[in-house]
Structure 1
């Protein structure tokens, strides 16, 4: 049995211990998964690419026809308050909370209404946020890379919305768990889409290549960051359709996400990627990523 911690979270205008937070069973997020979420990394107390995360939150809300209930300054205040509270709570419990990296999780649902598939009008969104510790890849994963498996992308065709309806991603991630892999790399109609909870990148002849920004891929915040790092490092950058064959014969394969940052895939479906070691483009991108977090 999991016991929820008692550090503060934010729920509908008030801060309350996470273990005491409650919503209605008629909340549409609970009934339908009718909501969106966002996850903001925090390095040494500094929100990382906060404006980009807020822009994606606005985009997801607009797709669901939900008005953003709070402004940017309010979201920033909530995030910084939660991080400070979590750090104090960790320190009070004998952990070095003040120097830890964190994640701020934000969730907005359409709100509470009687069950009906149609979108009800004039109801108040449910707003929830919490801060947690961010667990980054281990030194071994950095130096040796990680194993992944492949699967067909069986999810819906609005993957560009960061929706709380994540059952498809849960199934995809479990495929990797069952195989002892870190992630599940997915393909739709023979083309790379993304992983269960990460974006996937290919390196070919020194060029970093990612899938196009469309409705089949959630545009991770690291899309823009990878392009910025490539520009600074002189690495060619390209977004286009990527075939399964290209992935299977790539010089390097990479994952990006808030918690993985940028991470090398060195084994795919039990076979080594190129020489089975993290490659030189990964090393450049990770160095650039680390520099960006220190400059945040």
Structure 2
């Protein structure tokens, strides 16, 4: 089955996809993106992803060229063409092609790229056992709420993760937990689910929102506030949320055992709720 690409309204095989070297996304990282996954061939939370794409683009004064209905049609067509049992859809919109200059013209036409590739979910053994993480300094810019294609700090963080042979980097800013390099972070303190509040320090994750809603529907107290690095180590449970990780327990951080050293009851409960949620046809576009 071929990986599929979409460029400015046209579907092509991924191997044939090309963009200009003068595209501002290539020159400056001047663009936004989204990553969406499918369940049983249908995209999950597409409306939420498109809403965030719009928010990110608006924050950069970048006009999206398609309506939500058009985006939805293109995503569905890409999934159909790729025909993978499970797929990961990457959407990127840059400010477009222009002579190199930091300032931009409102007349520049955005470049839209979408790829559809096969997605391999995490091994269930990781969910059963939990994963290890490390903390590193959060050196990202001041607008982490914008899902920008400029990801240099995340690249460096994930390289440290690879070298340390752990699963994720938990980012620390001024002694406080912000989020993971490619995920949101939640902790459980005395039965309460706690996660960093929405704002410029974190990306407001689509899966994050789903999990918080599930927690509330389960009658679990939820607090959106920062926790300290020390609180992280002493939490009853720590877990990650994200499009590709879903709901995943962290059982060791910086070599320190979290809780009982295995996925706790609340993360197991929320993971089961999430699985049930994505199994519902009503949750899929």
TM-score range, shorter chain: over 0.9
**Which secondary structure does the structure 1 equivalent of 2:279 belong to?**
helix
How many angstroms apart in 2 are the aligned matches of 1:223 and 1:275? 24
Which residue does the alignment assign to 2:251? Answer: 266
Q: Which deviates more, 285-294 or 133-142?
A: 133-142
2:128 to 136, 143, 166: 143
How many angstroms apart in 2 are the aligned matches of 1:215 and 1:285? 26
Deviations 1:19-39 (A, max 9, x none): 011111000000001000001
Which residue does the alignment assign to 1:203? Answer: 188
Deviations 1:202-233 (A, max 9, x none): 10111110001010100100232112101221
How many angstroms apart in 1 are the aligned matches of 2:250 and 2:62? 37
How many angstroms apart in 1 are the aligned matches of 2:3 and 2:279? 27
How many angstroms apart in 2 are the aligned matches of 1:65 and 1:259? 29
Which residue does the alignment assign to 1:116? Answer: 101
Which residue does the alignment assign to 1:9? Answer: 5
Give the alignment's TM-score, normalised by structure 1. 0.93
> Are the counterparts in 2 of residues 233 and 284 from structure 1 also a CA contact under 8 Å?
no
Structure 1 residue 11 displacement after superposition: 0.3
How many angstroms apart in 2 are the aligned matches of 1:134 and 1:232? 29
How many angstroms apart in 2 are the aligned matches of 1:117 and 1:124? 16
2:56 to 41, 57, 60: 60
1:278 to 263, 274, 280: 263
**Which secondary structure does the structure 2 equivalent of 1:122 belong to?**
coil
Structure 1 residue 158 displacement after superposition: 0.8
1:185-196 alignment to 2 at 5 Å? 185-196=170-181
**Which secondary structure does the structure 2 equivalent of 1:241 belong to?**
coil
Which residue does the alignment assign to 2:276? Answer: 291
Corresponding position: 1:71 with 2:56: no
> Are the counterparts in 1 of residues 195 and 223 from structure 2 also a CA contact under 8 Å?
yes
Structure 1 runs (4+) deviating above 4 angstroms are: none
Give the alignment's TM-score, normalised by structure 2. 0.96
Corresponding position: 1:104 with 2:89: yes
Which residue does the alignment assign to 2:30? Answer: 34
Corresponding position: 1:237 with 2:222: yes
Structure 1 residue 135 displacement after superposition: 2.1
Unaligned 5+ segments in structure 1 are: 88-96
**Which secondary structure does the structure 2 equivalent of 1:194 belong to?**
strand
2:17 to 18, 21, 24: 21
Which residue does the alignment assign to 1:51? Answer: 47
**Which secondary structure does the structure 2 equivalent of 1:203 belong to?**
strand
Aligned-pair RMSD on alpha carbons?
Answer: 1.1
Which residue does the alignment assign to 1:94? Answer: none
Deviations 1:141-176 (A, max 9, x none): 011100111101011111110000001100011111
Structure 1 residue 57 displacement after superposition: 0.4
Structure 1 residue 259 displacement after superposition: 0.4
Which residue does the alignment assign to 1:92? Answer: none
> Are the counterparts in 2 of residues 41 and 104 from structure 1 also a CA contact under 8 Å?
yes
